[in-house]
Structure formats: structure tokens, C-alpha cells
Structure 1
Amino acid sequence: MKFSIGVILITQILFNAVNTVFAFELNTSISKNKVELKELISLCGQKYKANEMDSALFYINAALDKAQHVQDSHLFLVCYNYKGVILKEQSKYDLCLQAYNDALRYLPKEEYNINRLKLLLNIAIVHRKQGQFSKALLVLDNTLKNSESYPKSKTLASCFDEFGMILKNEKSERALLFLNKALEMRKELGNKRSIAKSYTNLGSFYNMRKNYSKALFYYKKSLELNEELKYRKSISVVCTNIGNLYLKIEKIDSAQIYYNRSLDIKEVIGDRNGEAVVCTSMGELYAMNKEYKKAENYLMRANRIAEEIEVLYLQQEINLQLKNLYAAQSKGKEALAYYDKYISIKDSIFNTENMQHMQEMETRYQTREKEQKIEVLNIEKEAKEKESFYMKIVLGVFLFSLLPIGFFVKQRQKTRILKERVAASNRECTKLGMELHDSISGSLTYLYRSMEKESVEDSFVDQLRQVSDEVRGISHQLNMTAIANQEFRDALSDSLQLDHFPDDIDLKIYVPDGFEIDDYEKKINLIRIVQELKTNSLKHGNASSIVISFSRLQNKVGLEYTDNGIGFDMKEAKKGNGLININERVELLSGKLDWQTSPGNGVSFHLTV
């Protein structure tokens, strides 16, 4: 008996010893991984400051792999936040948003601490850089409300600043209010780097308003602070801004000084994208000054960099500048070659965006189809349950209950058919637009360029070029995917072909600042309604004046369209395809419509959806 107890005690002691050794080794391993993880984060920071973004991303991805073994939520948060910042610098905005949202997962949902606010602010900045201003404002509004817990904080000041930048892009006068609020708060906090950023943003605001003296004042205040802080990246940005301003007002020598300074810094810090941008501006500067050889050297240098870093938008701008440069020297062959490249890149960008959004729309369509099928199944299930219930009570009550169900099913069937017809119409428009763009427009372009080479009469070539541009414009106008992808104001402008609108028609368009329609089906159908109305006014109404006005009241959108044409008889017009298309789209939108027209009295169209 004593022997057995002894064996048990010895076994227990050995077991505890093994557990202690194992725990020690585990803690040692975790501690070692933490040290290595922090070293990787530190290396990432060093590469980021040196503007070596690819290397910085490599180290932060290695850090995230290491973080899996440490299971420290704070370090996960740091890694994902760093990754988001790096991807933002590389303009990889979708991946950047993914990283920021991954970081949010490691924060308690019920807490609105300063880390959450910083992440939300970064997400808003990315949306602004993507041009998605409405999304950015929604995130900022949420951030601003919860920033009140941190009065006079850097985050709150940054929220004001970001609000100002978005409103500036939307050309709203309220932008100045928020930019000044941010500046005042940053001055109170004494953060010089942030104050310099506020000065730069105020300079951009006044530059956009063409108040160049005030813009220059704020740019130079920003430059002074950044020079004091020896923050080279911001110095180069401000120098570029000042160079651009001087170029606008044609002070060539002053612009050249600031461009050269910016270019020197960008070469040192390895900012290849920035280097290409400044070289492009230098090319434009020397072209204006008729120093064509220098202009050519800078534009060629910019083009090489843009091709190396594969930035299509930059390549597009540079090829257009090269075309203009050679055209100014009457070098038709070279000008034509670069114009071909410009068109090719422009079409490549258009087709890439078009394909991406076609895929997005297809995914949305499939999702909605699945949701509708589930909804139908649920309705059928509910109807069967009700049927069973009412059968037990009384057959008459059951039959009475079938009436609203029958009406609902009939209405649903009618709506489904209407949706399919409108969707088919939109698909046909998009298909026709792409065919015009890819075949007829290309053939016309080839034809007038061939005639240019054969020295055909200039007036005829110009007319043919104009026809080619109009066909290209019509193709973009018909492409519903491209329209859905644009901001509302730009989509409306393209769909009405304002660049080719008749000069003898007095057209007025009123769209409020910040007006946007997030529902892409509503957006497309409203724009198609305006297109139909415009066609009727010009083709049948002989109108000389058209007024189009959009408004928003709470969650409703209002459209008012009037012209001074000859009007029409509503009873007769109901037979026409134009009015049928408009009424179908209004019905699909569940809109409230009011037509006012009669022969000789123009058209007044009021729609609320």
C-alpha cells in the first residue's frame, strides 16, 4: 500500500515537472516570436519611411504570418493598419480597404476607442481617393459623431480636414468652414506636420477657386513648416503644387524653379510615380515656352517611368502631351503615332473598367435573383400554412384571403415582366454602344487618319473626325454600365452628349452639390428618362429652350423637365415608343408622375421617385 502511494506521488511530481518545462518552452517560444514580430514591424517602418513600398509590404506580410503564432490582437491590429497605409500609398485601394476592415475585426465592436476612429478615418480617405464621395461622407459622419469623446484631438481635426477635402472636390463652399476648423484645432494642439497639411489643403481650395494669391500664400506657409520639419516628401508635394500654380498664370521661370526642386527630391526618395508626374508638367512647361527639345526629353522620361510602373492613366496623359508637342511643330506623322497610343490606352482603360463593372453588375443581378427566389419560396410556404389554417376555420374565409394573394402574385408577375423588358432594353443599349465603339468608331478613326496621310482636303478630314468623335460619344452614351459607374453629374453630362449639344438650344441643368443616387437601377432609369425627353424635345418638339432640374427631399428624388417646344396631344402620343418607354420606367421606379402638355404649349414633366 505504501509503495503504491509512493509511486502515485512520484508520478504526480514528474507530471507537474513536465508541464512546467512545457509551459516554460511555450512561453519562451511566444516571447521569441514576439521579438521577431516586432523586428519585422520595425523593418517595415524603416522601408516605408525610405519610400520602398514593395519591401515594406514584404516585411509586413511576413509580420502577419509571424503574428499567427503569437495571437496578440494588438499586434494584429498594428500589422493590418500598417498594411493598409502601404497599400494606400501604392493606390491599391480595394486591398487597402480589406486590410483596414481586417484591422477593425481585432477591436471590440462596443468600444469606440481612438484606434477605431483612426481606422474609420483612413477608410473615409480611401473612399475619397476612389472618388466615392458619398461613401466617404457616411463613414466620416459616423467618425465625427464618435470623435466628440476626444475633443481637440488629432483625429477630430483630421475628420474636419477630410470633410473639407471631400466638399472641396464637390465644389461646395462649406469646404472652407471645415478646413479652417481643422487648422484652428491643429494650431491649438501644436502639431506642426498637421498644420502644414492644413495649409496645403487650404492652398488647394483657393487654387480651385482661382484665387491664386491666397493659394500661393498658404502653399508657401506649408512649405516653410515642412522645411523646418525636414519632411522631404511633403516639401516635394508642395513644390509641385506651387509649380502648377505658376504654370497656370504663365510665370514660366518661377514654375521651373519649383518643379526642379520637387523633381530632385522625388529622385532621392525614389517616388517614381511623383517623378513621372513632375516630368510631365516640365514637358508641358517647356512646350509652352516653345523649347521643344527639352519638352520632348522630359515627356519621354515620364513615359518610360509610367510604362515601367504600369500606370495607365499617367501614360494616357503623357501620350496626349506628346501628340500636342509634335502637332505644335507640324510633325504630323509623330503626332498621329502618339495620338494612336493615346486612343489605344484610353480604350484600354474604358474596356478594363467596363469589364470590372459588368462582372460586379452580374454578381449583383445573380444575388438579387437568388433573393427573389427565396422570397417567392417563403411566400409560397406562408400561403400554404395560411391555406391549411383557413381550411380548418371556414372555406369562405380562405377563399376571401386568396383575393389579396392573387392580386399580389399578379402584381409581382407584372413587375417582373416590366423589369425584364427594361433590363433587356438596357442590355441592348450597352451592346449597341460597345459595337459602335469597337467597330464603327474604329473604322471612322482609321479612315480619317488614312485621309490625313493622303493629304485629302482638311475641311473634309475635320468633318470626318467630328463624326468619329460623335459616334464615340454616342457609344459611351448608350453604355449603361459606364453610366452606372460614373458620378451622377458626369453620367448625366455624358448621356446628354453635352460636348456635341446644338449651340442654338438654350440648355440649363440644375443638380445640387453632392447629389448622388446610389441605387444603380434608379440612376440608369432616371437618366434614360431624361434622354428620351431630350430626344423628343429636339426631334419632335422643335424646342429652343430646355430646363432640367434634380432635387432631393428626404429619401425622395425629384426630376423636373420643361421645354418651350410645340408640345403634343397626350392621347395621340401614348401610341409612340418614346412615351411608352418613359411610362414603363416610371412604373418600374414606383414614381409619381405629372405631365403637362398640349399642342403649342411646350412640355412640363414632374417626377418623384
Structure 2
Amino acid sequence: MKLYLLPKFLFCKLIVCVFTLILSKTLVAENKPDREEIIKLITSGINHWKQHAYDSAYVYLLESERRAVQAKDTQLIVVSLNNLGGLESSRANYKNGIECFQKSLKYNLNTNSSKLNTFLNISKAYRKMGDYESALSYLYKTKDIAERLQQNKELAESYNEFGIIKKLQRNYEEALSYYKESLKIARALDYKKGIVGALNNIGNVYKEQKNYSKSLLYFNEALNLKLELGDKKYLASAFLNVGEVQMKLNDFINAERSLKKALNFSKDSNNKELEITSSFLLGEMFIYKKNFSQSKLFLHQAYEKAELIGALDLQKEALLRLKNLYAAQNKGKEALAYYDKYISIKDSIFNTEIMQHMQEMETRYQTREKEQQIEVLNIEKEAKANESFYMKIVLGVFLFSLLPIGFFVKQRQKTRILKERVAASNRECTKLGMELHDSISGSLTYLCRSMEKESVGESFVDQLRQVSDEVRGISHQLNMTAIANQEFRDALSDSLQLDHFPEDIDLKIYVPDGFEIDDYEKKINLIRIVQELKTNSLKHGNASSIVISFSRLQNKVGLEYTDNGIGFDLKEAKKGNGLINIQERVELLSGKLDWQTSPGNGVSFHLTV
């Protein structure tokens, strides 16, 4: 009996197990998200995104990702994450966007073609963050894959992105080259959106270079294509570009027509920024036409809307034009009031940027400090391990070390004195810059107000206001703290006062992409050397052409400065304060210096630090 019952018991148990397994699979299948439901969630998220309902769009897309992971549907996981990344980037949450894009790459292991758009999106996010080095690294990956797979549409978009970055770095020739390559590919594909983008970008570069005739040709061609596409948002920006350039060419009849169309299309598409820009450009144009009532209407509308949405840059532009409006009507009191508001907002923007740079510098400093602490600990550890060995060496060379000690002490003392002298000079510059900003600039503003009350001529007040602007610029130029907290390219631009640089001087500045100097002293002293050289070229050298070039080779920084001035006798000039200051800063940086100059042969200055 026992032999018979045991198999029967086992058979029953087996039946129960099989039934339980089938039931559990059925329940799991019922709980598994349906693919169509996930697609509906993604579609809802995209639709809400298009309607600018960003929070609800985020909820839909996050849920679609969760369900796609649960369903183990790789394709829908990638689609959800890429849309989440795009949504976050459109809300300026670039770091979150990049995280979503990079997360999607983990599921994109099989095909390079599926990585193309993701790499391109990551590059765009880094570019909008201002991290051009990371943006370019992903952009090169995109271009390589697109070329290998002959994905020409993505290749055109890659070239366009290269152009955008080069334009932001003010490398206009390279930007034009990339844009034109993008345009060539887009035309071959009859890819109208790509053609329009490239035409617009080329027009903007020519506008930056003040070649308005060429700029208008490209903007008009872009406008005609946009009329075919019929997108109101794109039409608003197209008419705005055309109208602004027509205004620069003094074609006010067509400019008014174009800018009013831009204003109407921007209202229809609910694009506040384009609406404000169109309004203040119309206001500016009516100043030129001396239609002050119309100008006042458009400029006040622009300022009020910019204030409503909290756009400081747009407020600044509207206020500057309001100042010009009242100055054109000889209403000094009103012009001064708007100019004060303009300066206040301009300083607010400047201070915000400085604070951001200071926070970045603080982070960099803390990181370097931790690295230095770790390095010191490693050195101490190594020193203890080899203490006995080093003691024997020290005893062996002690007598021989007595001779050079005197030289090293003397050299160290010289370096310390030199460092203190240069540091004192920098402190004085900063103090002078602050005094100019807080005292003299304020006094000039008060003097302008006093002149207004005394009914002094408007032209004199305008000249005085221009002097006030220049004093404010010089104060920023001298302020060491402000310069140190800027990126090198911007610090160099401000220190040379490029906004006020003589127009008859041909100035060329070459700074490599991503060039930065983290060392505070090296950065300040290099910029001060360039300032001193520029002053000599303009004040004493009568130069009409100056070329400044920076380079980096491993850990070394190179500076080359040349001008076509009258040159000088180097032996005689070394007695002057200017060259003494340069020489002291070079010694402090332990730099290698090479001067080439003689009377009538300009100046060639090469420094490696």
C-alpha cells in the first residue's frame, strides 16, 4: 500500500504546482502594461509639451517610462527617456535632460543609428549650458556616425550645431564655413527646415559682421521658404530678422511693414519674447522717423511686457531706446530717469553674472584644495616610508648644499618682494576701479542731473553721459576681482575695452576653443601684460594693426603680440615704467620672454609661462 500511495501523493502535488504556475503566469500577464497604453501616455505627454503644459507632460512621460521598464519594452523605454530629456532641456533643466538622454543610451546598445539623435540632443544641451567642450565632443561622435551611415539629414544638423558653437565663440569664419556646408547638404536633400535654419544662421553671422546687404539676401530667402512652411512662430522670427536689417539699411518703409508683420505673427503664436523684440524695434524705428508718439506707444508696451515676464535683457533694451526717445525730444529729465533704470538693470545683470562666476571659481578652488590635500598626504606617506633612505642622502650632501643655500635664499627673497609689489599694484587697480565706480561715476550722474536743472544744452549732457559710460567701463577694467571671476575670453574682452576700442585700429584676437586659465595670478598677470602692450601700441607706437594670440602646449601657455607701429630701441625703453611692469610680471610667472623690435619695425612679443 505504501508503494502505491507515495506516487499518488507526488502526482497530486505535481498537479497543484503546475496549476499554481499557470495561474501566476496568467496574473502576471494581466498586470503587464499594455503597449498601446504606454504609447498613449507618450502621445499625451508630447501633446501637453507642445501646449506648454510642462508639468503634466512630465507626469505622462515619467509614467510611460515606468510602465515601459515594467513591460521590458526597450524601444518604448528609449522613446520615453528621449522625450523626457527633450522636455527637461526645453525647460532649461539641462542637467536633468542630459541624464535622461544618457540613460536612454544604455538601452541603445545595438545600433549606432538609434544613437544619432541622442548624441545630437546631448550636444545641444551642453551648448545651451555653455559647456562647449562637452558639446563638441558629442557633436564629433554624431558627425562620425552620420558620415559612416550616410545619414545626411543628421549630418546637416551636426554641421549647423558646429556653426552655432563657433558663432558663440565669435569665430565667424569657421561658423560660416559650417553653416554653408549644412546648407549644401540640406539643399541636396530638399530638407526645407534645414535649409531655413542654415540660411537664417548665415544671415545672422553677416549681421554680426555688419554686412547688412548680404545678411538681407539670406534672410529674405529664409522668409520665402518659411512662407511655404506656414508656421507662425517661424514667420514671426523671419519678418523680425528682415525688418531689423532693413532698418539698419535705412529702408524704413519696408522695415515698418516687416516689423509689424513680425509683431502680429508673434502675438498669434503667443511668443512673448518675439513680441517684445518686435515692439522695441518698431519704437526705435519711429525715433529715426521722428514719429515720437508712435515710438512711445511701442516702447512702453515692450518695457511693460518685458517687466511682466521678468526678462532683464529685454527690459534693458527697451529702456535704452526709451532714453533715446526722450533725448531725441530734448526731454532731459525723462531721458535721465530711463537711463538710470537702464544702468541699474545693466549692473544687476553684470552682478548676477559675477556671482555665478564666483560660485564656479569657489567650486574649482575647493576641488583644487582637496586635490592638494590628498597630494600632500601621499607625499607625507611616501616620505615616512623612505625616511631612513633620505636621511642618509641628506647627511651625504649636507656639506655640498651649504654653497647654493645663499643663492636660493636670495632668489626666494627677490621673488617674494616681486610678488608683493605686483600684488600691491593689483590691489591698487581694484581699489581705483571701485573708487571710479562708486565715487566718480556717481558724481558724473549727479552732475548730469544738475545740468538738466540748469537747462544746459542737450549735446553737452550727452557728452557728459558718454564720459560717465567710459568711466564705468574703466572701473570694470581695473577691478581685479571682477576680471578674475570671468571666463578668460570675457575677461580679456572687458580688460581691453573692446566696446570702446578705436575703430581705425585693425585688432585681431585669437583664443583657442575652450581656452581657460584657472590659476588666478597667472590669469591676472597675463591680462595686465596684454593691457600694457596695447597701451604702448596705441599711445607710443602709433600702430594701426594689432594681433594678439594665445596658445596652449601641455601645461604651458603661450602669448604672442605683434603690432605694425614705429617700434623702439629696447635698451632705452627698458628704463620706462611700462616695460618694467611687464618684465616684473614675466619674472613673477617664471616665464620665457622674447622681444623683437627696433625703430621703424613694429613690435613682436612672445611669452611662454
Does residue 578 in structure 1 map to residue 590 in structure 2?
no
User: Per-residue deviation at 1:6?
Assistant: 5.8
Match of 1:367 in 2: 367
User: CA separation of 1:456/1:500 partners in 2, compared to 1, >3 Å: closer, same or farther?
Assistant: farther
Structure 2 counterparts to residues 171-570 of structure 1, below 5 A: 171-208=171-208, 212=212, 214-387=214-387, 390=389, 395=392, 428=427, 432=431, 435-436=434-435, 439-440=438-439, 443-455=442-454, 457=456, 465-480=465-480, 482-483=482-483, 490-498=490-498, 509-512=507-510, 517-521=515-519, 523-534=523-534, 544-545=542-543, 548-551=546-549, 555=553, 557-560=558-561, 564=567
Q: Alpha-carbon deviations, 1:28-51, whole Å to 9, x = none?
A: 44415x6555334312322344xx
Give the letter aligned to residue 439 of structure 1: D
Q: Which moved more, 1:422-431 or 1:56-65?
A: 422-431
CA separation in 2, counterparts of 1:289 and 1:460?
24
User: Per-residue deviation at 1:355?
Assistant: 0.7
1:180 counterpart SS class: helix
CA separation in 2, counterparts of 1:489 and 1:228?
41
CA separation in 1, counterparts of 2:413 and 2:100?
43
Q: Which runs of 5+ in 2 are unaligned?
A: none
Q: Alpha-carbon deviations, 1:113-134, whole Å to 9, x = none?
A: 2343323323444455566656
User: CA separation of 1:254/1:509 partners in 2, compared to 1, >3 Å: closer, same or farther?
Assistant: closer
Q: Alpha-carbon deviations, 1:69-117, whole Å to 9, x = none?
A: 5425544543443344345545x2xx22541243123314977723433
CA separation in 2, counterparts of 1:309 and 1:164?
30
Match of 2:40 in 1: 39
Q: Which moved more, 1:426-435 or 1:212-221?
A: 426-435
CA separation in 2, counterparts of 1:22 and 1:135?
49
Q: Alpha-carbon deviations, 1:341-369, whole Å to 9, x = none?
A: 11111111111111111011011001001
Instruction: Decide whether the 8 Å contact of 1:152 with 1:185 is kept in 2.
Output: no
CA separation in 1, counterparts of 2:499 and 2:397?
59
What TM-score, normalized to structure 2?
A: 0.80
User: CA separation of 1:79/1:481 partners in 2, compared to 1, >3 Å: closer, same or farther?
Assistant: farther
Instruction: Decide whether the 8 Å contact of 1:199 with 1:222 is kept in 2.
Output: yes
Instruction: Decide whether the 8 Å contact of 1:433 with 1:477 is kept in 2.
Output: no
CA separation in 2, counterparts of 1:443 and 1:245?
36
CA separation in 2, counterparts of 1:449 and 1:57?
50
Structure 2 counterparts to residues 110-149 of structure 1, below 5 A: 113-129=112-128, 136-149=135-148
CA separation in 2, counterparts of 1:125 and 1:359?
24
User: CA separation of 1:105/1:126 partners in 2, compared to 1, >3 Å: closer, same or farther?
Assistant: closer
User: Per-residue deviation at 1:168?
Assistant: 4.8
Give the letter aligned to residue 560 of structure 2: L
Match of 2:154 in 1: 155
Q: Which runs of 5+ in 1 are unaligned?
A: none
Instruction: Decide whether the 8 Å contact of 1:150 with 1:156 is kept in 2.
Output: no
Instruction: Decide whether the 8 Å contact of 2:156 with 2:181 is kept in 1.
Output: yes
Match of 1:107 in 2: 105
2:594 counterpart SS class: strand
User: CA separation of 1:561/1:261 partners in 2, compared to 1, >3 Å: closer, same or farther?
Assistant: closer
1:330 counterpart SS class: coil
2:345 counterpart SS class: helix
User: CA separation of 1:446/1:64 partners in 2, compared to 1, >3 Å: closer, same or farther?
Assistant: same
User: Per-residue deviation at 1:593?
Assistant: 1.6
User: CA separation of 1:514/1:385 partners in 2, compared to 1, >3 Å: closer, same or farther?
Assistant: closer
Give the letter aligned to residue 557 of structure 1: G
User: Per-residue deviation at 1:141?
Assistant: 3.2
CA separation in 2, counterparts of 1:442 and 1:219?
41
Q: Which moved more, 1:141-150 or 1:485-494?
A: 485-494
User: CA separation of 1:605/1:246 partners in 2, compared to 1, >3 Å: closer, same or farther?
Assistant: closer
Instruction: Decide whether the 8 Å contact of 1:37 with 1:63 is kept in 2.
Output: no
Q: Which moved more, 1:565-574 or 1:347-356?
A: 565-574
CA separation in 2, counterparts of 1:298 and 1:5?
95
Give the letter aligned to residue 120 of structure 1: F
Overall identity of the aligned pairs, in %: 38
Instruction: Decide whether the 8 Å contact of 2:45 with 2:60 is kept in 1.
Output: no
The Cα RMSD (Å) is 4.5
Give the letter aligned to residue 242 of structure 2: I
